[in-house]
């Protein structure tokens, strides 16, 4: 455990309290931390603080005869704050009847008569057994953020995805643990949810992602008004561009709305990326890349949404939703793509409430022993299916086309076909999503004969299509009919001439957009290869072209 579990003693007589603490430290001081309190209210406040700070309380020893709040009343209230702790009442001989009744009334684990001399015979054997029982059923200590929120809550889901994408440890508490922490943190109203309890005990009710980022020490605004290169988007292409730019001496700002890694960072395992013969998780690859950009001195800001980009003289100005802006010699657009929305009745209303777009690897653990449905037939869907199959009772892939091989790599198809827990339903599309407050059932339609079938479903993960997030760019940026950015040769007409709006005598460089000095890398670029390796390569190539652009201006 990262922090020693606590043994809490409650005794109003200071002399007796010191003796109790001395005996406990003598036997258990190496493995446990002893905390003393002199009365019930003081001990309850200590328990609240311990619970909020995610410090485990293993054992509570409370004296029966205390003014204001006796030991039985205290232990009854302590159950709500530390339900897993073992509870011991300290009594005098005259109070044994009350102690015996407390065994049933407050689920007391044991009572001890004072004094217990020698402790080796009268104290330690009892506590040894109680601590062994506690340790067998306890959870490891946790240094991270605790989330209290409804399972079927889109805001809770967004917070979990943000923390996961930024490699910030967290756990989503449910049931008894959530109730205990909520009481300790003073949360009495569901309207306050979701709540984040930080590892230092600070409680954030319904925080924005920006609030969370700042509390976690992530930068949310640029530290300078000017850079050599601004990279918008922290997926593989953006990370590749940032690494090469900074390593070559360019002052670089990397801008990301959520967390580094992009869609690749959410992948459970990438097995066809050069240099990783046994595969690598998207989270691991993203974390390695983040460490690399920071080592080269890249400035990274998160929860920063770019809302405008324009040329002002020799500068390229990126405007953000908070009203700030930065200027750079050149810009790399590497915003990747978003999953297309599922065109099924009711799907939009249940987004985040059982219908999810993409899936981070951590989501699989919450699907234990469930039936999981995955819509899609490309590599991302295949990787998710294999990962979820390690946890879920059954994974059903719903594929609109006649087979998987049209868009999915053969190594994934082979493994999916051989997996006993994965079913593939081809020529199938989801036409309806329904449920009361969260997804409960879906209707699927056979595209060959129109037959429909209603299936019970708690979770549906969608991996279809790709929507480039380019609406925030002005009309000066030319796009194809799907919104992907045109670059280089794709901007030229049949006679090899650039568009009329192109202001320079030379033609656009290969990855250069219709606005000089703004380059495009990765999935957001029209006709790009939708693979991690190619995205990283385009990011590196963009920096080479930026050097050429800067030398020519």
Strands 325-333 and 315-320, by their bridges, are: antiparallel
Range of the domain at 360: 355-462
Q: How far is CA 173 from CA 196, 268, 367, in A?
A: 10, 23, 15
Residues 332 and 475 in one domain: yes
- Residue the block writes with tokens 């309380």: 57
Residue 220 is assigned to a structural domain of this protein: no
- Tell me the HSE value of 154 on the side-chain side, using a 13 A CA sphere: 12
Of 462, 478, 507, the last residue of a domain is 462
Contacts 24+ apart (CB under 8 A), 399-406: 399/424, 399/425, 399/426, 399/427, 399/428, 400/427, 400/428, 400/429, 400/447, 401/377, 401/426, 401/427, 402/426, 402/427, 404/377, 406/377
Of 81, 106, 137, the last residue of a domain is 137
Classify 433 as helix, strand or coil. Answer: strand
Residue 311 is assigned to a structural domain of this protein: yes
The candidate with the shortest Cα–Cα distance to 389, out of 421, 425, 357, is 421
Q: For residue 192, give the CATH number of its domain.
A: 3.40.30.10
Q: For residue 120, give the CATH number of its domain.
A: 3.40.50.2300
Q: For residue 282, give the CATH number of its domain.
A: 3.50.50.60
pLDDT recorded at residue 41: 94
pLDDT recorded at residue 359: 82
Residues 197 and 290 in one domain: no
Each residue's pLDDT expressed in tens, for the chain with a length of 553 residues = 357 899 999 999 999 999 999 999 999 999 999 999 999 999 999 999 998 888 899 999 999 888 889 988 999 899 889 988 999 998 887 677 777 777 767 778 888 888 888 999 989 999 999 999 998 887 666 678 999 998 888 899 899 989 988 888 898 988 888 888 998 888 878 888 999 999 888 999 999 999 999 999 999 999 999 999 999 999 999 999 999 999 999 999 999 998 888 888 778 788 888 888 888 888 888 889 999 999 999 999 999 999 999 999 999 999 999 999 999 999 999 999 999 999 999 999 999 899 999 887 778 888 888 899 999 999 999 999 999 999 999 999 999 999 999 889 999 999 999 999 999 999 999 999 999 999 999 999 999 999 999 999 989 999 998 899 999 999 999 999 999 999 999 999 999 999 999 999 999 999 999 999 999 999 999 999 888 999 999 999 999 999 999 998 8
Classify 528 as helix, strand or coil. Answer: coil
Residues 211 and 297 in one domain: no
Residues 305 and 246 in one domain: yes
| Neighbouring residues of 538: CB distance < 8 A, sequence distance ≥ 6 | 237, 240, 511, 521, 522, 525, 528
Residues 311 and 394 in one domain: no
Residues 115 and 165 in one domain: no
Residues 124 and 41 in one domain: yes
500-519 in b/e form (b: 16+ CB < 10 A) is eebeeeeebbebbbbbbbbb
Contacts 24+ apart (CB under 8 A), 314-317: 314/553, 315/226, 316/230, 316/515, 316/517, 316/518
Residue 297 is assigned to a structural domain of this protein: yes
Of 397, 432, 462, the last residue of a domain is 462
Q: Which residues pair with 357 in a beta bridge?
A: 462
Residue 91 is assigned to a structural domain of this protein: yes
Residue 350 is assigned to a structural domain of this protein: no
- pTM for this structure? 0.81
Residues 516 and 534 in one domain: yes
The Cα 161–Cα 174 span in angstroms is 17
Residue 343 is assigned to a structural domain of this protein: no
For 503, phi and psi rounded to 5 degrees? -90, -5
Residues 312 and 268 in one domain: yes
- How close are the terminal C-alpha atoms of the chain, in Å? 58
Per the CB < 8 A criterion, the answer to whether 186 and 81 are in contact is: no
pLDDT recorded at residue 397: 97
The pair of three-digit structure tokens given for residue 51, joined into one six-digit string: 């619970």
Strands 422-425 and 315-320, by their bridges, are: unpaired
Residues 199 and 262 in one domain: no
Per the CB < 8 A criterion, the answer to whether 253 and 230 are in contact is: yes
Q: How many domains does the chain have?
A: 4
Residues 486 and 518 in one domain: yes
Residue 37 is assigned to a structural domain of this protein: yes
Residues 13 and 121 in one domain: yes
């Amino acid at each position: 455990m990262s922090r020693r579990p606590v043994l809490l003693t409650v005794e109003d007589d200071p002399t007796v309290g010191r003796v109790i603490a001395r005996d406990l430290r003598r036997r258990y001081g190496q493995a446990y931390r002893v905390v003393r309190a002199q009365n019930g209210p003081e001990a309850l406040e200590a328990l609240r603080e311990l619970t909020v700070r995610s410090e485990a309380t293993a054992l509570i020893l409370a004296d029966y005869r205390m003014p204001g709040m006796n030991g039985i009343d205290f232990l009854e209230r302590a159950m709500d704050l530390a339900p897993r702790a073992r509870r011991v009442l300290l009594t005098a001989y005259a109070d044994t009847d009350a102690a015996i009744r407390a065994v049933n009334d407050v689920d007391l684990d044991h009572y001890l008569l004072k004094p217990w001399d020698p402790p080796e015979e009268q104290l330690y054997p009892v506590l040894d057994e109680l601590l062994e029982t506690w340790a067998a059923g306890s959870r490891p200590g946790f240094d991270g953020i605790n989330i209290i929120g409804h399972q079927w809550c889109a805001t809770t889901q967004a917070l979990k995805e943000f923390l996961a994408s930024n490699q910030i440890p967290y756990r989503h508490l449910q049931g008894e643990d959530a109730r205990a922490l909520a009481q300790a943190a003073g949360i009495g109203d569901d309207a306050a949810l979701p709540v984040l309890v930080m590892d230092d005990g600070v409680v954030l009710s319904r925080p924005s992602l920006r609030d969370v980022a700042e509390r976690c020490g992530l930068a949310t605004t640029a530290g300078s008004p000017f850079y050599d290169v601004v990279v918008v988007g922290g997926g593989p292409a953006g990370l590749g561009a940032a690494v090469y730019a900074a390593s070559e001496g360019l002052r670089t700002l990397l801008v990301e709305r959520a967390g580094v890694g992009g869609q690749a960072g959410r992948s459970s395992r990438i097995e066809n990326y050069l240099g990783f013969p046994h595969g690598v998780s998207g989270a691991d690859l993203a974390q390695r890349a983040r460490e690399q950009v920071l080592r080269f001195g890249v400035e990274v800001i998160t929860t920063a949404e770019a809302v405008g980009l324009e040329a002002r003289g020799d500068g390229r100005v990126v405007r953000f939703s908070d009203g700030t802006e930065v200027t750079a010699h050149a810009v790399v657009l590497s915003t990747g793509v978003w999953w297309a929305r599922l065109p099924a009745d009711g799907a939009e209303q249940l987004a985040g409430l059982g219908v999810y777009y993409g899936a981070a690897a951590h989501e699989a653990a919450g699907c234990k022993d469930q039936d999981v449905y995955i819509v899609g037939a490309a590599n991302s869907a295949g990787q998710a299916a294999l990962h979820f199959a390690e946890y879920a009772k059954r994974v059903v892939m719903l594929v609109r086309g006649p087979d998987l091989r049209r868009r999915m790599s053969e190594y994934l198809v082979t493994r999916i076909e051989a997996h006993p827990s994965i079913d593939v339903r081809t020529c199938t599309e989801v036409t309806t999503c329904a449920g009361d407050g969260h997804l409960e059932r879906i209707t699927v339609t056979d595209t060959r004969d129109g037959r429909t079938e209603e299936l019970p479903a708690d979770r549906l993960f969608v991996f279809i299509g790709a929507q480039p997030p380019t609406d925030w760019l002005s009309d000066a940026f030319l796009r194809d009919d799907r919104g992907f950015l045109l670059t280089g040769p794709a901007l030229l007409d049949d006679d090899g001439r650039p568009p009329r709006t192109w202001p320079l005598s030379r033609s656009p460089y290969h990855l250069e957009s219709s606005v000089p000095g703004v380059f495009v890398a990765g999935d957001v670029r029209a006709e790009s290869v939708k693979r991690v390796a190619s995205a990283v390569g385009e990011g590196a190539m963009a920096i080479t072209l930026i050097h050429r652009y800067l030398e020519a201006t």
